[in-house]
A and B are shown apart, each in its own frame.
Chain A
């Protein structure tokens, strides 16, 4: 049963578009979407659910994650209701639903709190710098340790529980029974989708964007691996150094292009930028650039005189690891991949159920 919450649409205001009543349900958006099919009627169904306030239906549904925002629906919408951005807003909202800590909701709904959090993190980093009396060596050692601890704790205390909550909401609570063998068989696809986002290619004229996104994900993850596990800043291995330069450059060059697109607002997807979108690209850009510059400074031997650069880098890194990754847009990357997996499982469970029904009838 679906409970109707007429005030629900007001709660969605901080997540993007505030007017959900423009839509007159002509179905143009769903028909134009290259991902929609009988089992996945979006974006119109999502808008309908919001207008009616079918909160549970939205919470239980992974549909918004299956949209890759090509913008076709928004371009041709006869009401200028911007269904593409509505889907994006739903994704922002769903991250707060999955987040067990409730912190992401606070960040999305209050800009002041978010800015305060960024400042506190920056102050903490400076404080730690002072603690080590602004000596480069111990600070860099601390930074390296911080990276490791941050990755493990964010994964263990935020990412994992949130993914479990997502499963609970969308599969377990729905009483959808999926056999273990089916669950296991989907894992390979899950990993492929996570790293390649290959479904983006179904969208029209999306190859360049997909490729950029693909090498960005790859560049970012490899940069993370090189700095954290291969100790890029400390290593003397020429191959690792060069490799680090390449992935670092990829990260800031691609993000720079993304920022330019958001400023130019030419493509439908870059027309609307929520604060969280800006944070994500700008911080990723700053991270790539600062990491790259530090290694340059190390290689030309001037890092000792430019401690500030490392401190700035550490501030950006800490804000990224403590705020943006666990409570911001970064999580979209994980949720989307799992959503594809969940949708696939749901579909398989449904077809199994239908098969069973058929056999009972024939028996």
Chain B
């Protein structure tokens, strides 16, 4: 006869400064009366220090199975495994339950925690229990964000001949990848990979592209969402604009170019970049004189196409019906001026990595020349192709990352892109001295370590030590660093400093999470359903996440995750069914399903 299952459940502390939305007392009460649960430990006892207590409890109560629940429960697995072994039980009889503290009020964290736990107690996969009932689904899909992840997901879904609405906040798709010059580790031209995909999106019969648009409201249930999209006024008719550029020639309004990371100026009527999709002009209301003062209209006079520019166009809202949603809203870079010790914004030749990325690009403001930042006639600090080139450049890693004062996490891409930038600078300025200041070199991907090795042999000085401060010293920048591997203090004079800024969730991520009813994780990234086994789904049915909105990652990983999200969407389209949101499935449904599927019996 099989031995009766006796389960001990340990709740590990939720770490971090998140809102505490799980009601643990209610949780304990709920699971206490399940027959197979013998003992519940809360985090007032610590398995790391109270080994004797735990082995004693396990032996005396003859517990033969452990469930560890909480934040990152895997940390404690080996410890409990040892306890079970000591008590003479099967050491591998441990289940892990990850519990999330969703900071959003409309996500019922406690209910989700209860349902996950009850499934673990009955030893039924959570997915199996919640998949028990699904909603009928529509075949249309909404993809939010037109960066590389959004493009990839949209193309994958559309290539299965299903309708996709691709909504992009700015005037063009392409995202950050379009701004990059080369990609690591192969040094492929970023545009050569991206632009064909962008063109494919614009020509695809199954993709409806909505640029300069934002998500306003989502209602309905998984499988049948109704989405309100605000289409901001482009003030230029996308259908009739030929992209000739005559309108911009005489336009008096200017603003910093978003695409060039602020390294140069653009007109108020502009095309984000020459390969923009759609390849049409648009008007930025903030810098347009007509919109601001009501007097101008130069562009209208010069436009060769009749009625193409309508300066009085208003924003409009459209509504679409979709079955599934893929969120791929990406990231923003860390605001380097927050770290005053580096003087970004104060010293003109302290640049962010994104600015340098535009400088080294042949289509950038300087035509690929690395020059110093100078003031133009109107007093704007910009880069031009004139003037000398720097003879020494320092690249500082981990700006705003791995730092308790800013962002504690590692942004994952900075080491690699810094090495790439060092290479690109060396290529343009073979005689320049290039220094990299790093804390730990994280070359973790396929071909990455080899790339690091290659850069090491290119004559670039790679120095271990975080630069503490930058000061201006006789037109040069003076850096002070501890050279840890050589036990010395380095005081270097360089002409240009590049700050390798980390990645942060986009400003709108939190609002979008509220609109969609999905969770946010500790640092404001979107919360996946399971950090190990289900990184594309969320707690809401039919809502998938892909790319850097889920957490910092590089291009290959973003593409992979986008395709994974697309495969989830296609599954749902083929089944004509979508998973329900966790909050919509009642606990009793999950409980009865778990009991039905369970092979475990109490005494």
Contacts and interface: CB of A to CB of B under 8 A. Distances in A.
Interface of A: 24-32, 36-38, 41, 44-45, 76-80
Contacts of A80: 404-405
B547 to A, nearest CB: 27
Interface stretch (B367-375, B426-434, B460-468): B460-468
Given A24-B439, A26-B439, A27-B482, A37 B489 contact: yes
B402 interface: yes
Nearest to B481: A31
A220 to B, nearest CB: 35
Given A27-B484, A38-B487, 13 more contacts: A27-B464, A27-B466, A27-B481, A29-B468, A31-B467, A31-B468, A31-B480, A31-B482, A31-B490, A32-B469, A38-B489, A78-B402, A78-B403
A28 B466 contact: yes
Contacts, number: 65
B497 to A, nearest CB: 14
Q: Determine chain A's interface SS by DSSP, over half rule.
A: loop
Nearest to A77: B404
B468 A32 contact: yes
B341 interface: yes
Contacts of B489: 30-31, 36-38, 41
A27 B465 contact: yes
Contacts of B480: 31-32
B488 interface: yes
A80 B482 CA distance: 18
A66 to B, nearest CB: 14
A30 B468 CA distance: 8
Nearest to A28: B466
Contacts of A28: 466-468, 482
A28 to B, nearest CB: 4
Interface string B470-495: 00000000001111100111100000
Contacts of A41: 482, 487-489
Contacts of B405: 76, 78, 80
Most buried by B among A24, A31, A41: A31
A31 B466 contact: yes
5 contacts: A26-B466, A27-B481, A28-B482, A32-B341, A80-B404
Given A27-B482, A31-B481, A76 B402 contact: no
Nearest to A80: B404
Contacts of B483: 27
Nearest to A45: B487
A28 B404 CA distance: 13
A275 B575 CA distance: 69
Most buried by B among A26, A32, A37, A77: A26
A228 to B, nearest CB: 45
B464 to A, nearest CB: 8
Which 4 A-B pairs rank lowest in CB-CB distance, beginning with the nearest? Answer: A27-B482, A31-B468, A32-B468, A78-B403
Nearest to B401: A78
A44 B487 CA distance: 11
B408 to A, nearest CB: 9
A76 B439 contact: no
Contacts of B481: 27, 31
A25 B484 contact: yes
A31 B405 CA distance: 17
Nearest to B406: A78
A78 B467 contact: no
A279 B341 CA distance: 36
A133 to B, nearest CB: 57
A278 to B, nearest CB: 27
Nearest to A32: B468
Nearest to B466: A26
Interface in B429-449: 439-440
Nearest to B464: A27
Given A31-B480, A77-B404, A78-B405, A38 B468 contact: no
Contacts of B482: 27-28, 30-31, 36, 41, 44
Nearest to A34: B480
A79 B466 CA distance: 12
Contacts of A78: 398, 402-405, 466
Nearest to B339: A76
Nearest to A31: B468
Most buried by A among B440, B468, B488: B468
A329 B465 CA distance: 34
A25 B464 CA distance: 9
Nearest to A81: B404
Interface string B365-403: 000000000000000000000000000000000100011
Most buried by A among B469, B483, B484: B484
A38 B480 CA distance: 12
Nearest to A27: B482
A149 to B, nearest CB: 48
A75 to B, nearest CB: 8
A31 B480 CA distance: 6
A77 B468 CA distance: 10
A242 B468 CA distance: 50
Given A28-B468, A41-B489, A76 B341 contact: yes
B338 to A, nearest CB: 12
A38 B465 contact: no
A35 B490 CA distance: 14
Nearest to B486: A38
B465 A31 contact: yes
B400 to A, nearest CB: 10
Interface in B492-513: none
Contacts of A32: 341, 468-469, 480
A36 B467 CA distance: 14
Interface in B115-139: none
Contacts of A26: 398, 439, 465-466
A13 to B, nearest CB: 15
A79 B402 CA distance: 8
Contacts of A27: 464-466, 468, 481-484
Contacts of A45: 487
B558 to A, nearest CB: 27
Nearest to B465: A27
Contacts of A30: 468, 482, 489
Interface in B394-424: 398, 402-405
A41 B487 CA distance: 7
Nearest to B341: A76
Contacts of B484: 25, 27, 44
Interface string B191-231: 00000000000000000000000000000000000000000
A19 to B, nearest CB: 13
B398 to A, nearest CB: 8
A78 B404 CA distance: 5
A109 to B, nearest CB: 22
A292 B127 CA distance: 78
A251 B467 CA distance: 41
B395 to A, nearest CB: 15
Contacts of A37: 489
Most buried by B among A24, A28, A79, A80: A28
Contacts of B469: 31-32
Contacts of B403: 78
B463 to A, nearest CB: 10
Contacts of A36: 482, 489
A30 B488 CA distance: 10
Most buried by A among B440, B480, B482, B487: B482
A37 B488 CA distance: 7
B499 to A, nearest CB: 15
B404 A79 contact: yes
A2 to B, nearest CB: 15
Nearest to B482: A27
A2 B362 CA distance: 56
Interface in B336-384: 341
B483 to A, nearest CB: 8
Contacts of A38: 487-489
A57 to B, nearest CB: 13
